[in-house]
Structure 1
Amino acid sequence: MASWADHAIWWQVYPLGFVGAEAALTEGAPVTHRLGQLENWLDYAIDLGCSGLMLGPVFAAETHGYDTIDHYRIDPRLGDHEDFDRLVAAARARGLRVLLDGVFNHVGRSFQAPPEWFREDVFEGHEQLVVLNHDEPAVVQYVVDVMCHWLERGIDGWRLDAAYAVPPNFWHQVLTQARSRFPDAWFVGEVIHGDYAGYVNQSGLDSVTQYELWKAIWSSLNDGNFFELDYALKRHDQLLDTFVPQTFVGNHDVTRIASQLRDERHLGHALAILFAVAGVPSIYYGDEQAFRGVKEERVGGDDAIRPAFPAGPDELGEAGWPTYRVHQRLIGVRRRNAWLVRAPATVEHLTNQAIALRSEGDGQVLVLLNISDQPYRFPLDTTGFAVEALPEETDEPEELAVVQSHSWLVLTSG
């Protein structure tokens, strides 16, 4: 994994939704220069504590961006190459890394290529998505060329969409060539379930998306069953022998965490887990403001989770800023203890509704979570620890081992 990725904290944005672009591309329509709207939010992302911008699809596509028709052209609904170059330059000037979304499993139906580039099937029943033939050498070379074109233009790596549907040997061929030219690039694949470590070993990817941990975080909080989280963390930590997973509690494909949780008091708990366990974390735009949205399995079912943002942060409502500040405090813990990226989390104490997680590196981080209706005293020695993050910016508790009902604490020592 590229050394800089150990310090990466991504702000993930779905550009077509963020800028309020039309639902479909009309070929021949004039270019609309919207991509620059993102520049107004770069300082906001930095203030949040992020070090990188993870962009959803920006290439010319028929509708939602995952039906690409030209990987070398910026979608006219977003702008043009000059708009893109300005955005990358603005991010670079602030020290932000940039990751692009590469949709190389399938393309839009109007993508122009020889017949041997395609398989006969469509992707997961979506008639407008045609699967590429990953056994075709010309497809391998095409993806290499596309990746290198944009890496040359200043990006730092790629999120590879639907990587799970692509033979791992295809990525191995592609990444071997891409890394020979760009050894510091970082490549993360979208893998939903299965043998994460095996797929990384065979494909050569740096990381894959940790959906198993995502599910365990919200599910354990909803069900009052931290034994599920304990089980998932044991599996999560085993992955560290092979790679560092890409972790999240929200993205462009799932119901927002604020809507997913049955009890809004547990949002901070989910975030405390995310930023205190190993992984390369990302925050999906709007989650830091407690945006709500439910994904539905229908045409347009992603619209609620891919909304337009206002022109600038000063136009956001007041209600979301407390959640933003919770993110800041927890990301601050992560940045002050960067070793957490590779540190296994030991469960020091466990009940259905209370859990204590300890991670050790240059110091120690102890996360205490209580989702019961009563204060909970953890049977732990907290000598030498101090409060590092709280749900509210209030005075420190009198007893570090006691966590109030539906609350949490992050303690550090060393």
Structure 2
Amino acid sequence: MKLLCALALAVPLSVMSQERITIYQVLPRLYGNTVTLNKNNGTLAENGCGKMNDFDARRLKRIKDMGFTHIWYTGLIEHATKTDYSAFGIARDNTEVVKGNAGSPYAIKDYYDIDPDLAVNISNRMNEFKQLVERTHKAGLRMIMDFVPNHVARQYHSDCQPTGIKDLGETDNTSLAFSAQNNFYYIPNEPLHLDRISGNNNSYTEIPARVSGNDVFSAWPGVNDWYETIKLNYGVDYQNGHSTHFSPIPDTWKKMTDILLFWAAKGIDGFRCDMAEMVPVEFWHHAIARVKQEYPKVTFIAEIYNPEEYRNYIHVGGFDYLYDKVGLYDTLRSVVREENSATAITHCWQATDDIQDHMLHFLENHDEQRIASPFFAGNAEKALPALVVSATLDKAPVMIYAGQEIGENGMGNEGFSGEDGRTTIFDYWGVPSYQKLTRGIKYLDKNEAKLYAFYRSIVKIINSSEAIREGKKFDLMYVNDSSENFDPHRTFAMLRSTGKETALIVANFADTEKKICINIPSAAFEYLGIKPQTKKAKELISGKTQTLTLNITAPTRVRISAHSAVILTF
């Protein structure tokens, strides 16, 4: 039984090709900002803001040269903000229902418009967006943008929607708590109360109250709720047993599908769908099929945290990839922090073995704490073995968050986002690591340059090595749990092979150099279709070669530095 668990099933997946997806996530509002004042809770005028135009040919070339296939521009669509753009025909937002001076990119104010913060010429912002799409494609990168389906800003109103499309909530019957044809949920005869948040200074009026984005069916949301947003209604009556009303097709389904088609028509290559599991899978089945009918190459990525729903959102919903947060991310983080054994990695991938190539691997994103922050590892180098495991474990996509590659620590009391180890998404801010990256890698210090080189090697290896790109996996942990000179709690080892190329991957999570002996069973040779042999092997990260012996009767020996890994190919 143990042996069977160690073998990965070869599952044919329609989403896979010879190229593995590698994603660079970046928040344009922060990335190109060169202002260094960094005033706590500063305004746009004080702290500055990056623009779409900052992603010029030179900067996109750096990202492409690092080995990425896709770039996810986070926060492109217009969202609520405390900055006044009324001179450009954009209604002001009430500050009581905006988090941070810049506002959350996930409190969408107009699904059909680009955020004015990101434009050099605000009146020309959609054209600047089109130029960004063109530059991205010209650089050889594919473009991902957010789709936020579960909630919108309290004061949502589209002034850019195409002719003939009615605004969200425009035809709602607000006297009903629920109607399948309403776009929002209501609390009839009760105004919204924000007293818990703003005290007696509440200047925002909403009658009747609408349900907050995190499913708060109350007119009294709390400070920790998504009070700045309102939940969209997809035909699920949450207050009456979660009963579903999908026939006739709810009006929200039609409007949200139209929004996806609107952006797909502008050349978008993929959508990262925010909190996808808070929207019924039946909608995704409808919408994704409709989009792919016209744009079959568009990729859909789901932010999802419920493992029990994974297969449903792939096989029924039609998603190409899902966040591997409650799984590989949580496991690797706990191993790096010495809260868990490296043996947990095996149990982790086994839990999603049948859908492993649909899982999106990452160690950072805008929601998570930075590796280099004291809340995670306190040192970016401590997560390098986790990076190698994340990138080489299977054929799934891999994502890196901008700044991760040079050790951005996410520290700084920006304003709404406090000193929590996360790079703010709510505030105007100048991020030092971004400012170095936008100037050029020659401005990195010695440690940053070393880290950058390691990341660049790993991202490139994902597609340059046949074994890492598309090989089958054999987990070696089960035959080494009691081996001499192999610490299963701080070491992870596996083989990947296509038959033509084989890779031995060994990660050392310990804080000391290790001379590791690895037992390789006969089953590994049989399953991977390789023979016992002694050969010159190339270590892909360093580029060095060494003699490597793979056989059944004696262990394979490798030396690995602290907090590092080797990828030996032959």
TM-score range, shorter chain: 0.7 to 0.9
| Residue 377 of structure 1 pairs with residue 488 of structure 2 | no
Q: CA deviation at 1:128?
A: 0.6
Q: Out of 281, 288, 293, which is 2:405 matched to?
A: 288
Q: Out of 301, 312, 318, which is 1:188 matched to?
A: 301
Matches within 5 A, 1:353-372: 353-361=490-498, 362-372=500-510
| Residue 409 of structure 1 pairs with residue 566 of structure 2 | yes
Q: Which has the larger radius of gyration?
A: 2
Q: CA deviation at 1:347?
A: 1.8
Q: CA deviation at 1:331?
A: 1.9
Q: Is the 8 A contact 2:514 2:560 kept in 1?
A: yes
1:248-271 per-residue CA deviation (whole Å, 9 max, x = no partner) reads: 111111011233225654322111
| Residue 386 of structure 1 pairs with residue 537 of structure 2 | yes
Q: Which has the higher helix share?
A: 1
Identity of aligned residues (%): 20
Which residue of structure 2 lines up, in the alignment, with residue 238 of structure 1? Answer: 354
Which residue of structure 1 lines up, in the alignment, with residue 371 of structure 2? Answer: 257
Amino acid paired to 2:558: V
Amino acid paired to 2:362: F
Matches within 5 A, 1:345-360: 345-349=473-477, 350=480, 351-360=488-497
- C-alpha spacing 1:283/1:385, structure 2 compared with 1 (3 Å): farther
1:336-367 per-residue CA deviation (whole Å, 9 max, x = no partner) reads: 23564565532213411222111222522211
Amino acid paired to 1:352: H
SS class of match (1:69): strand
| Residue 16 of structure 1 pairs with residue 29 of structure 2 | yes
- C-alpha spacing 1:338/1:244, structure 2 compared with 1 (3 Å): farther
Which residue of structure 2 lines up, in the alignment, with residue 219 of structure 1? Answer: 334
Q: CA deviation at 1:151?
A: 1.2
Q: Is the 8 A contact 1:237 1:344 kept in 2?
A: no
1:171-191 per-residue CA deviation (whole Å, 9 max, x = no partner) reads: 111112111111111101101
Which residue of structure 2 lines up, in the alignment, with residue 49 of structure 1? Answer: 67
Matches within 5 A, 1:9-408: 9-20=22-33, 34-39=51-56, 40-62=58-80, 63-79=103-119, 80-112=125-157, 113-114=168-169, 115=172, 116-120=182-186, 121-124=211-214, 125-135=225-235, 137-195=250-308, 196-211=310-325, 212-223=327-338, 225-240=341-356, 244-259=358-373, 260-261=376-377, 264-278=380-394, 279-293=396-410, 299-301=416-418, 304-306=422-424, 308=431, 309-310=434-435, 311-314=438-441, 316-318=443-445, 319-337=447-465, 340=468, 343=471, 345-349=473-477, 350=480, 351-361=488-498, 362-372=500-510, 373-380=512-519, 383-384=534-535, 386-390=537-541, 393=542, 395-396=544-545, 401-406=557-562, 407-408=564-565
Q: Under a length normalisation based on structure 2, what TM-score does the superposition of the two structures give?
A: 0.65
Amino acid paired to 1:370: N
- C-alpha spacing 1:294/1:118, structure 2 compared with 1 (3 Å): farther
Separation in 2, partners of 1:347, 1:4? 23
Q: How many residues were matched structurally?
A: 403
1:58-99 per-residue CA deviation (whole Å, 9 max, x = no partner) reads: 011011210001111110000211111111111111211001
Amino acid paired to 2:59: W
CA RMSD of aligned residues (A): 2.9
Q: Under a length normalisation based on structure 1, what TM-score does the superposition of the two structures give?
A: 0.88
Separation in 1, partners of 2:228, 2:501? 52
- C-alpha spacing 1:383/1:222, structure 2 compared with 1 (3 Å): farther
Q: Which has the higher strand share?
A: 1
